A and B are shown apart, each in its own frame.
Chain A
Amino acid sequence: MHKRARAKAHAGIRKRAIRRELLGNWLGPLLVAVALAAAHMLGIFAQTDGRFFDEVTVNQSGIAPNVVVIERDAEFEALGDARFTALNASLSTLGAERIGYLGADNLLPASSEIPVVIGVPAKPLPANQRWELRGDTSVFGSARIAARSLAPSQYGINRTQTAALPGRDTPIPVFDAALADRYPADGEFLVPTPRRQSIPVLKASQLTSGQIQAGELNGLVAMVVDPQALRGTLATPLNPSSSATSEAVFRAHVVNALRGGQFGYEAHVWQVWVLLLAFAALLAVLYRETDPKRLAVLIPVSFSLMILAACWAVLVFTGKLLPVSALLLAPWIITFQRVVERETSQDRRLERTASRAVQTSFDRSALREGARLPKFLGSAAEYAGVERSLLVQLTPSGELEAVAANNATLDDIRIDRKRLNRILKDVRESLGVRNAAEIVPGWSGDARIGWVGAGDQQLFWLHTRPVTATPGKSAHLVRAIATSFRELFRWRADLNARGSREHRNQPIDDRVASAIALVANESEQVRRGFDTIDTAVIIFHLIGSPLHANEAMHSLYEEAGLNLFDTSLSEALLALTELGPNRVQALIEDLMLNGSEMRLPMRNLGETDRQSERMLRIAAPARNAHGANRVLVLEAIDMRDANRAADLRKAVAKFIDLQLRNDFEAILLGSQLACDKRLGSDQVREVASRISDTARRATGRLDEVASLVRSETSDLTEACYPVDATAIIRDAIARAAGLAEELGVTIDADHPGVSGFTLAEPVALTEMLVAMLRVVIADTPHGGSVKLKLEELQGRTHIRISGGFGIGFDRLLWLIANYEDGAVGEYRMIGEGMAKVTSWSASVSYWGSQSNGFGFNVDLRGVG
Chain B
Amino acid sequence: MSAHILVIDDDPILAGLLQLTLELEGYDVTVANDGAAGLEQTKSTKFDIILLDLVMPKVDGIKFLRLLAKGGFSRPPVMIVSSAIEEKLTDQHRALGVVDIARKPIEPAELVQRTKRAIANGPTSPAAATLAEQS
Residues of A within 8 A of B (CB): 657-659, 661-662, 664-670, 672-673, 676, 678-679, 683, 687, 690, 693-694, 697, 752-756, 791-794, 862, 864
Which B residues are in CB contact (< 8 Å) with A666? 11, 13-14, 17
Closest to B102 in A: A665
Q: What is the bound-complex CA distance between A693 and B66, given in angstroms?
A: 33
Whether B83 and A672, one on each chain, are in contact in the complex, defined by CB atoms closer than 8 angstroms, is: no
Q: Given A676-B24, A679-B24, A662 and B60 touching (CB < 8 A)?
A: no
A749 to chain B: closest CB distance in Å? 13
Which residues of A sit under 8 angstroms from B83, Cβ to Cβ? 657-659, 661-662, 665
Note all chain A residues with C-beta closer than 8 A to B13.
666, 690, 693-694, 697
Which A residue's beta carbon lies closest to that of B60? A752
A residues near B105, Cβ cutoff 8 Å: 661, 664-665, 667-668
- Beta-carbon contact of B17 and A690 below 8 Å: yes
Which of chain A's residues have a CB closer than 8 A to the CB of B24? Answer: 673, 676, 678-679
State which of A672, A678, A754 has its C-beta within 8 Å of the C-beta of B54.
Answer: A754
Flag whether B58 is at the interface (Cβ < 8 A).
yes
**Residue contact A661 to B103, C-beta cutoff 8 Å:** yes
Q: Give A81 to B129 CA distance when docked, in angstroms.
A: 176
Instruction: List residues of chain B with CB within 8 A of the CB of A679.
Output: 20, 24
> CB-defined interface of B1-33 with A at 8 Å, one 1/0 digit per residue?
000000000110110111011001000000000
A754 and B55 in contact, given A669-B17, A690-B17 (Cβ under 8 angstroms) = yes
Interface-forming stretch among B38-46, B106-114, B117-125?
Answer: B106-114
Residues of A within 8 A of B104 (CB): 661-662, 664-665
Q: Is the CB–CB distance between A793 and B57 below 8 Å?
A: yes
Taken together as a complex, chains A and B put the C-alpha atoms of A636 and B48 apart, in Å, by 61
> What are 17 pairs between A and B in contact, CB < 8 Å?
A657-B83, A658-B83, A661-B103, A665-B104, A666-B17, A667-B105, A668-B107, A669-B20, A672-B21, A673-B24, A687-B20, A690-B17, A752-B60, A756-B55, A756-B57, A794-B57, A864-B55
Among A664, A670, A678: residue with most chain B CB under 10 A: A670
- Decide yes or no whether B116 CB sits under 8 A from chain A: no
Contacts of A662 in B (CB 8 A): 11, 14, 83, 104
**Cα separation A794 to B56 with both chains bound (whole Å):** 9
- Residue B62 is within 8 A (CB to CB) of chain A in the complex: yes
Nearest CB to that of B85 among chain A residues? Answer: A754
| CB-based contact A669/B109 at 8 Å | no
B97 within 8 Å of A (CB atoms): no
In the assembled complex, the Cα of A679 lies from the Cα of B108 at a distance in Å of: 15
Q: Which residues of chain B have C-beta atoms less than 8 A from A673's C-beta?
A: 17, 20-21, 24, 108
Docked-complex contact B62 and A683, CB < 8 angstroms: no
Query: In the complex, what residues of B have CB within 8 A of residue A665's CB?
Result: 14, 81, 83, 104-106
Given contacts A683-B20, A792-B58, 5 further A-B contacts (CB under 8 A): A662-B83, A676-B24, A690-B16, A753-B62, A756-B57
Among A657, A669, A679, the one with the most B-chain Cβ atoms within 10 Å of its Cβ is A669
Enumerate B74-118 residues with CB–CB distance to A below 8 Å.
81, 83-84, 103-109
- Give me the 9 closest cross-chain CB pairs, A-B, nearest first: A753-B62, A661-B83, A664-B105, A665-B104, A665-B105, A752-B60, A669-B17, A672-B108, A661-B104
How many chain B residues have a CB neighbour from A under 8 Å? Answer: 31
With both beta carbons as reference points, the residue of chain A lying nearest to B10 in the complex is identified as A794
Asked if A754 and B57 make an inter-chain contact with CB atoms under 8 angstroms apart, the answer reads no
Which residues of B are at the interface with A, using a C-beta cutoff of 8 A? 10-11, 13-14, 16-18, 20-21, 24, 54-63, 66, 81, 83-84, 103-109
Distance, CA A679 to CA B24, complexed state (A): 8
In the assembled complex, the Cα of A532 lies from the Cα of B131 at a distance in Å of 61
Chain A contact residues: helix, strand, loop or mixed: helix
Bound CA span A752–B61, Å: 9
B18 touches A754 (CB 8 A): no
Look across to chain A and name the residue whose beta carbon is closest to the beta carbon of B59: A752
**Cβ-defined contact, A670 with B17, below 8 A:** yes
Chain B contacts for A694, CB-based, 8 A: 13-14
Q: How far is the CA of A690 from the CA of B108 in the complex (A)?
A: 16
Chain A residues whose CB sits within 8 angstroms of the CB of B54 once the complex forms: 754
B84 to chain A, nearest CB (A): 6
Q: Cβ of B103: which chain A residues have Cβ within 8 Å of it?
A: 661
Would A755 and B17 count as touching, CB distance under 8 A?
no
Please give the distance in Å from B5's CB to the nearest CB on chain A: 14
Determine if A755 and B57 form an interchain contact, defined as CB atoms under 8 angstroms apart.
no
Contact of A753 among B11, B20, B63, B108 (CB under 8 A): B63
Whether A862 contacts B17 by the Cβ 8 Å rule is: no
Complex Cα spacing A668 to B104, Å: 10
Decide: A791 near B58, CB < 8 A? Known: A665-B104, A666-B13.
Answer: yes
Q: Tell me the complex Cα distance, A693–B21, Å.
A: 18
Residue in chain B with minimal CB distance to A666: B14
Q: How far is the CB of B117 from chain A (nearest CB, A)?
A: 19
**B57: chain A residues within 8 A (beta carbon):** 756, 792-794, 862
Residues of A within 8 A of B62 (CB): 752-754
Q: Give bound CA distance, A670 to B20, whole Å.
A: 9
**Cross-chain contact of A658 among B18, B60, B84, B107 (Cβ < 8 A):** B84
Q: How far is the CA of A745 from the CA of B60 in the complex (A)?
A: 28
Closest to B34 in A: A794
How far does the alpha carbon of A754 sit from the alpha carbon of B56 in the complex, in Å?
Answer: 8
- Smallest CB gap from A753: residue in B: B62
B17 & A658 in contact (Cβ 8 Å cutoff): no
For B55, the closest partner residue in chain A by CB is A756
Select from chain B the residue with minimum beta-carbon distance to A659.
B83
Contact present for B55 and A658 (CB under 8 Å)? yes
Q: Name the residue on B nearest A862 (C-beta).
A: B57
| Distance between Cα atoms of A275 and B81 in the complex (Å) | 115
CA distance A755 to B18 in the complex (A): 23
In angstroms, Cα B20 to Cα A679, docked, is 9
- Contact for A669 among B10, B63, B66, B108, CB less than 8 A: B108
Residues of A close to B84: CB separation below 8 A:
658, 754
Q: How far is the CA of A666 from the CA of B11 in the complex (A)?
A: 9
Give Cα A668 to B18, complex, Å: 10
Nearest CB in chain B: distance from A446 CB, A: 71
List, in ascending order, chain B residues with CB within 8 A of A664's CB. Answer: 104-105
Nearest A residue (CB) for B11: A662
Give the docked Cα–Cα distance between A528 and B59 (Å): 58
Which residues on B sit within 8 Å (CB–CB) of A792? 56-58, 60
**Set of chain B residues within 8 Å of A667, measured between Cβ atoms:** 105
- Closest residue on chain B to residue A664 by CB atoms: B105
Distance, CA A636 to CA B103, complexed state (A): 43
Measured CB to CB, the nearest residue on chain B to A670 is B17
Chain A residues, Cβ within 8 Å of B61 = 753-754
Q: List, in ascending order, chain B residues with CB within 8 A of A756's CB.
A: 55-57, 60
Inter-chain contacts of A793 with B (CB < 8 A): 57-58
CA distance A278 to B21 in the complex (A): 121
How far, in whole Å, are A794 and B61 apart by their CA atoms in the complex? Answer: 15
Distance between B96 CB and nearest chain A CB, rounded to angstroms:
10
A48 to B105, CA, bound (A): 120
Docked pose: A755 CA to B81 CA in angstroms: 16
Give the CA-CA distance A667 to B21 in the complex, in Å: 12
Report the Cα distance A793→B35, complex, angstroms: 12
Central interface residue in A667, A752, A791, A793, by most chain B CB within 10 Å: A752
Is the pair A669, B21 in contact by a Cβ cutoff of 8 Å? yes
B81: which A residues are within 8 A, CB to CB? 665
User: What chain A residues lie within 8 Å of B108 (beta carbons)?
Assistant: 668-669, 672-673
Question: How far apart are B106's CB and chain A's nearest CB, in angstroms?
Answer: 7
How distant is the Cα of A676 from the Cα of B55 in the complex, in angstroms?
30
Distance in angstroms between the alpha carbons of A665 and B105 in the assembled complex: 4
CA distance A642 to B71 in the complex (A): 47
